[in-house]
Amino acid sequence: MISEDLKIYGSYVRVAEAHLAYDLIKDKMRKWIDNILNIFENGMVEKGKDYYVDIVGVLRKRIENRFREIDNLEGALK
């Protein structure tokens, strides 16, 4: 009986670890994408190419929308 309880507890721990790892990866991915867009945006501003800054703004909005969709799907699954 105790071993069955430990197996169940262990499976809950593994699920919790998987959720935590997923959240950490998702956060790191968001920061990584944001850093890339910032580098691109800053480089284009220095070169006086404002139209590239507009493209970065559109990309940033699209990426945020995708992450928002992922968050909404996750919320619906919980």
pLDDT in tens, 38-48: 777 777 666 66
User: Is residue 4 a contact partner of residue 19, using CB atoms and an 8 Å limit?
Assistant: no
Residue 60 burial by Cβ neighbours in a 10 Å radius (0-12, 13-18, 19+)? middle
User: Is residue 60 a contact partner of residue 35, using CB atoms and an 8 Å limit?
Assistant: no
The residue segments making up the domain with residue 12 are 2-77
Question: What pLDDT, on the 0 to 100 scale, is given for residue 2?
Answer: 62
Higher per-residue confidence, 50 vs 68 = 68
Residue 9: band (very low, low, confident or very high) from pLDDT cuts 50, 70, 90:
low
What pTM value is reported for the model?
0.49
- Count of domains in the chain? 1
Question: What pLDDT, on the 0 to 100 scale, is given for residue 1?
Answer: 54
Average pLDDT of 8-30?
76
Counting residues of the chain whose pLDDT is more than 90, the rounded percentage is: 0
